[in-house]
Amino acid sequence: MSVEKGQREIGQFPAGQQPSNGPQASAEQGLTSGDRPNSSGTRNSIEHADAFKAQLVTAEQRQLFEYWDARCVGEALPKRADIDPIDFPRLLPSISLLEVENAGQPQAEHRVKVRLAGTRLRDMYGRETTGLYLDEFLPPQSDSYWTAAFTRVISQGKPAQGVLSLEDLGQLGTFQFWLRLPLVDAEGNIAMVLGLDTLLVSEKARVAVRNTSLESLIA
């Protein structure tokens, strides 16, 4: 999986679905010049952070998003050094830290590598993922889904979240509620992504999936 250059995607990705062209076009039309996506290490439309948070399904997602959002200084996105895992020990098994290849080179493909992965990620994929590129262990059929998600995070500097069924990984009835948050380097390039993956099983998870809004959000 590599991030496609110049692609616009919405902030929420429902279970097993690609964002439709309709909401995507509406989001584009509703942006002012000051709100347009960028990859300069700054965040736009800060007032939409609460709306994005309202779409998060799990308490773990909300906790990590609040932590990340509190470390945004004005328009600037947090750096890796601003994130201290000791501040959220309960989340660590579900946390991942992803490294962006060719950060700061807008015309290059941004392949994503797992620098650190919690134990629940190993359980989810049935193997250790630390040190692997995403395309080395993600199911091929989900490539376009994750490309869209990481395009938003890396190329636009915006958080993204969604839900996937793990049926393709042989885990029938298990749903992956995920969150991806951009981090910048010293030059302000989006060089890393902070990830959280929460697994829910049973009817509670199915209800959460059904209640997930399909509307586009720009956070």
pLDDT of 49 reads: 83
Q: How far apart, in whole angstroms, are the C-alpha atoms of residue 126 and residue 93?
A: 15
Render pLDDT for 50-60 as a digit per residue (tens, 0 to 9): 888 888 988 99
Residue 219 falls inside a structural domain: no
Q: Which domain, by its residues, includes 126?
A: 2-210
Residue 22 falls inside a structural domain: yes
What pTM does this model have?
0.76
Residue 215 falls inside a structural domain: no
Residue 217 falls inside a structural domain: no
**Residue 14 belongs to domain with CATH number:** 3.30.450.20
Higher pLDDT, 217 or 78: 78
Q: How far apart, in whole angstroms, are the C-alpha atoms of residue 167 and residue 169?
A: 5
- Residue 208 pLDDT greater than 60, yes or no: no
Residue 216 falls inside a structural domain: no
Read off the amino acid at residue 29: Q
Residue 105 falls inside a structural domain: yes
pLDDT mean over 62-73: 94
Residue 218 falls inside a structural domain: no
DSSP 3-state assignment of 26? helix
Give the side-chain half-sphere CA count within 13 A for 215: 9
Share above pLDDT 90 across residues of the chain, in percent, rounded to a whole number: 36
pLDDT of 216 reads: 32
How many domains would you assign to the chain? Answer: 1
Residue 6 falls inside a structural domain: yes
Higher pLDDT, 166 or 5: 166
pLDDT mean over 60-79: 93
- Residue 193 pLDDT greater than 80, yes or no: yes
Q: How far apart, in whole angstroms, are the C-alpha atoms of residue 103 and residue 122?
A: 26
